Amino acid sequence: MAAEETSRKKSRLFQANAPVFFGSAALILVALVFAASDPDDAATIFASIQSWIVHEMGWFYVASVATFLVFAVGVAASSMGAIRLGPDDSVPDFSTGSWFAMLFSAGMGIGIMFYGVAEPVLHFAHPPRGEGGTVEAARNAMQLAFFHWGLHAWAIYAVVGMALAYFSFRHGLPLTVRSALYPLIGDRIHGWMGHIVDIFAVFGTMFGVATSLGLGVMQVNAGLNYLFGIDMSVGVQLTLIAGITLLATGSVASGINAGIRRLSELNLVLALSLMLFVLVVGPTVFLLQAAMQNTGGYLSELIGKTFTLYAYQPNDWIGSWTLFYWGWWISWSPFVGMFIARISRGRTIRQFVIGVLLVPSGFTFLWFTVFGNTALAMQLDGTAQMVEAVQADVAVALFQFLGHLPFAGISMIVATLLVVTFFVTSSDSGSLVIDIITSGGNPEPPVWQRIFWALMEGVVAAVLLLAGGLAALQTGAIASALPLAAILLVVCYGLFTALRQETRRQQSLQFGIPVVASHPPLAWKRRLGTLLHQPTRERALVFMRDIVTPALNDVAAEIRGRGLDADVSVSPDEVRLTVGHGASDDFLYGVALRSVPVPSFAVTALEGEREGPDHTWRAEAALREGGQRYDIMGYTREQVIADLLGQYERHMHYLNL
């Protein structure tokens, strides 16, 4: 007994997929030892790796990201967009406001704080083509910023999040990247092939998140230097990493609802407040005009910019900017994709893609317009030398910018606080996602494992800063994304295969032989009585016990007699029949009790046990896709069997397709 109790305690304390947990930790440790043992040599090697990827594999990144955008939009626009990320009768777990706040905070909050002012100014000073410092350069600078932070970035996240949510919430597979390959390799996702996919996902996520944390801590240091004169140094930045990582550790230990959701909502409020402040005190009318023109210019040149590699005018600009961003977003995709999958259960694919692509992109476009265009206006009219300030130190750019606006002290404090909260939400969200992957998809892994990965993120960010600062962070993001990009292309194919099968199944349900045609004539007076006299729970339980269960058992016995596997599972509130046709093609028919409000037209009083004075009970049919929202309460045993056989006939129609 003592040995069994000890074993149970160990299992509660360590709930990880050991090959993925230890394999990921070992791979990350090797990379850290390499970077920390000789920072100068590591910086040289990082530069060589980045140069090789830019010159030899740049085309692959560009083609991959273009594929992700086309795929996401195409799936949402097709009939596949109506498929729900969860059972057919599921509803979203979070309100739209909370969903958007968590999407935004997890996706790129630190990044827009770091680059919101700096990137447009740098593109203005040193454009990839043409002369810098002109009005035309300013216009192109905003389009480039929109291009790097717009639909392409969120399309990458949408592909991963869609695949994970679909396979996990609709098909009951683990919430890990390997599950997206199920249509291609089947049960082998649970073996070494799945382990390798998840290890690369953890590795990419770790370095992608560490890149953001490194950028964030550089900017926090810049803000403290500008406000309080604290030195700009690696030592201070390491101290900040340690302190803010501890805050993130506390947040991740409290879970999504208590910590991450509330911090995300705080982030959104602070970001909106800061953006509206700059909009009001800055050139308001010009910014509103620029927002329209920037968006139009971005959309009109979307296709051309998507496939631009400057093949006829080779330069290093694309490696430092576009390919860095594509690598950064791809390396973040397991993290952000799994996180938005985790919070998107119950939405349709179309709702999911529209929300993930348009809402955060729209906010980001506004942010870059308000901050970037205001900075460019200051530069062009001579109010401030923003080019000089940004070139001196990118991390200080935001604070230099705010210093030329009214109430600078207050706005800088808000900006610093915003960077810190974005830092915390990025770290705790990343830690939670990595822990879910390494625990085999367990959505609630032990707290100590979350803490371990939160601390590991801080260590990786610190080592990358020591090994070369911003250049090392960029290389880490680009290099870790290379294997992930290949995996995500395979994920697209696997998801498309599964969605095509799902669409055929739904078409068979819609256009197959009508279920009603198989019914014997209903005892219509009895049925009418059931509709008007709202059933109590006692009456519903009797119906399940005396009608539904025997009907499903009769059908199961007949199916087994014909050589197929059939199993009936019974609980007080649900009865299910499963017929085996192969793991992905099993037929499931169930009847589940559901408590619903009494319709306003109900004229008879409820009696007996009930959920409050205004609730009644329905016996709803359910298939493997979820509840079908029609009530069979009052059917005879023969009518239940007829309904079941009608659905089974439709399933066979799907298999024939």
- pLDDT of 551 > 90? The answer is yes
Q: Within a 13 Å sphere around the CA of 205, how many CA atoms are in the beta-carbon half? A: 37
Q: What is the pLDDT of residue 107?
A: 55
- Model confidence at 156: pLDDT above 80: yes
Confidence class of residue 549 from pLDDT cuts 50, 70 and 90? Answer: very high
Whole-number Å distance between alpha carbons of 244 and 209: 14
Return the DSSP state at 406.
T
Average pLDDT on 327-345 reads 83
Give 647's contacts (C-beta < 8 A, 6+ positions apart).
509, 515, 587, 589, 621, 623
Q: What is the mean pLDDT of residues 161-183?
A: 87
The enclosing H or E element of 597 equals strand 587-597
Using alpha carbons only, how large is the chain's radius of gyration in Å?
A: 28
Are 280 and 350 members of one domain? yes
Answer yes or no: is 229 within a domain.
Answer: no
Q: Judge if 350 and 297 occupy the same domain.
A: yes
Whether 476 shows a pLDDT value over 50: the answer reads: yes
The span from the CA of 147 to the CA of 139, in Å, is 13
598 lies in the same domain as 554: yes
Please say if the pLDDT value at position 604 is more than 80: no
pLDDT at residue 341 greater than cutoff 70: yes
Two tokens, residue 234: 């690696």
Q: 148 pLDDT exceeds 90?
A: yes
| pLDDT given at position 101 | 73
Contact (CB, 8 A) for 297 and 143: yes
- Last residue of some domain: 448, 477, 504? 504
Residues 555 and 497 in one domain: no
Task: Please choose, from the candidates 646, 508, 509, 654, the residue with its C-alpha nearest in 3D space to the C-alpha of residue 581.
Answer: 654
Q: In the predicted model, what is the mean pLDDT of residues 409-427?
A: 82
Residue 364 has pLDDT above 80, yes or no: yes
What token pair was written down for 131?
């002369």
Q: What domain range is 115 assigned to?
A: 17-100+110-128+138-204+262-393+467-504
Domain assignment present for 383: yes
pLDDT score recorded for residue 4 = 42
Using DSSP's 3-state secondary structure scheme, residue 571 falls into strand
CA 182 to centroid of chain Cα atoms: 19
pLDDT for 422: 77
In a domain? residue 558: yes
Task: Report residue 527's pLDDT band, with 50, 70 and 90 as the boundaries.
Answer: low
Q: Which stretch, 194-198, 441-445, 464-468, 475-479, has highest mean pLDDT?
A: 194-198
Which position has the token pair 């539904």?
Answer: 548
Residue 477 falls within a domain, yes or no? yes
Residue 140: per-residue pLDDT = 93
Instruction: Tell me which of 249-258, 320-329, 511-520 is least confident.
Output: 511-520
How many whole angstroms separate alpha carbon 67 and alpha carbon 63?
6
Quick check: 313 pLDDT over 90?
no
CA distances from 547 to 375, 453, 543, 619 (A): 73, 52, 5, 11
Taking only the tens place, the pLDDT of each residue in 107-143 is 566 778 878 899 999 999 999 988 888 999 999 999 9
Mean of pLDDT values over 597-623: 62
Are residues 181 and 303 located together in one domain of the fold? yes
Report pTM: 0.77
pLDDT tens across 276-302, in order? 999 999 999 999 999 999 999 999 999
CB 148 within 8 A of CB 119: yes
User: Does residue 259 have a pLDDT over 70?
Assistant: no
Is the pLDDT at 182 greater than 80, yes or no?
yes
With a cut of 60, say whether residue 256 has pLDDT above it. no
pLDDT at 171: 84
State the Cα–Cα distance between residues 195 and 438, nearest whole angstrom.
Answer: 9
Q: How confident is the model at residue 599 (pLDDT cuts 50, 70, 90)?
A: low
628 touches 589 (CB < 8 A): no
Tell me the DSSP string of 130-165. S-SSSHHHHHHHHHHHHHHHSHHHHHHHHHHHHHHH
pLDDT at 520 over 60: no
Q: How many Å apart are CA 547 and CA 107, to the nearest integer?
A: 51
For residues 88-105, give the mean pLDDT.
Answer: 78
What is the spatial distance between Cα 211 and Cα 331, in angstroms, rounded to a whole number? 10
Q: Which amino acid is at 549?
A: T
User: 494 and 346: one domain?
Assistant: yes
On whether both 188 and 320 belong to a single domain, the answer is yes
Task: Give Cβ neighbours of residue 12 (< 8 Å, ≥ 6 apart).
Answer: 446
CA triplet 367, 390, 120: central angle to 5 degrees?
A: 40
Read off the pLDDT of residues 482-508 as tens digits, 9 standing for 90 and up: 888 988 999 999 899 889 888 877 766
- Please tell me the number of Cα atoms within 13 Å of 413 on its side-chain side: 4
How far apart, in whole angstroms, are the C-alpha atoms of residue 196 and residue 194?
5
* Cα(134)–Cα(241) distance, integer angstroms: 39
The per-residue b/e assignment along 308-336, b for 16 or more CB within 10 angstroms, e otherwise, is ebeeeeeeebbbbbbbbbbbbbbbbbbbb
Q: Name the domain count of the chain.
A: 2
Instruction: State the pLDDT at residue 1.
Output: 42
Residue 148 and residue 267 in one domain = yes
CA–CA gap between residue 180 and residue 193 (Å, rounded): 12
User: How many C-beta atoms lie closer than 10 Å to residue 518's C-beta?
Assistant: 17
pLDDT tens digits, 22-45? 999 898 888 778 777 776 776 677
End-to-end CA distance of the chain: 55
The bridge status of strand 615-623 relative to strand 626-631 is: antiparallel
Q: How many other CB atoms are found less than 10 A from the CB of residue 517?
A: 9
Residues 338 and 475 in one domain: yes
Residue with tokens 């990582």: 245
Measured distance CA(340)–CA(349) in Å, rounded: 12
String of DSSP letters for 272-296: HHHHHHHHHHS-HHHHHHHHHHHHH
pLDDT for 253: 65
Residue written as token pair 């080019």: 387
**Pair (164, 72) in one structural domain:** yes
Q: In 3-state terms, what secondary structure has residue 241?
A: helix
* pLDDT at position 608: 43
> What number is the average pLDDT over the span 6-11?
44
DSSP 375: H
What is the pLDDT at residue 240?
84
Task: Label residue 397 by pLDDT band (50, 70, 90).
Answer: confident
∠ CA 299-499-630 to the nearest 5 degrees? 115
| Residue 2 maps to a domain | no
Same domain, 544 and 645: yes
Residues, the chain, total? 657
616 — phi, psi (to 5°)?
-130, -175
| Mean pLDDT of all residues belonging to the chain | 81
Q: Which of 81-85, 382-386, 514-518, 649-653 has the lowest mean pLDDT?
A: 514-518
- Rounded to 5 degrees, what angle do the CA atoms 307, 81, 101 make? 80
User: How far does CA 309 lie from the centroid of its chain?
Assistant: 28
Question: Does 618 lie in the same domain as 477?
Answer: no
| More confidently predicted of 76 and 252 | 76
pLDDT at 11 over 60: no
Q: Is the dihedral of CA 148, 151, 156, 160 positive or negative?
A: positive
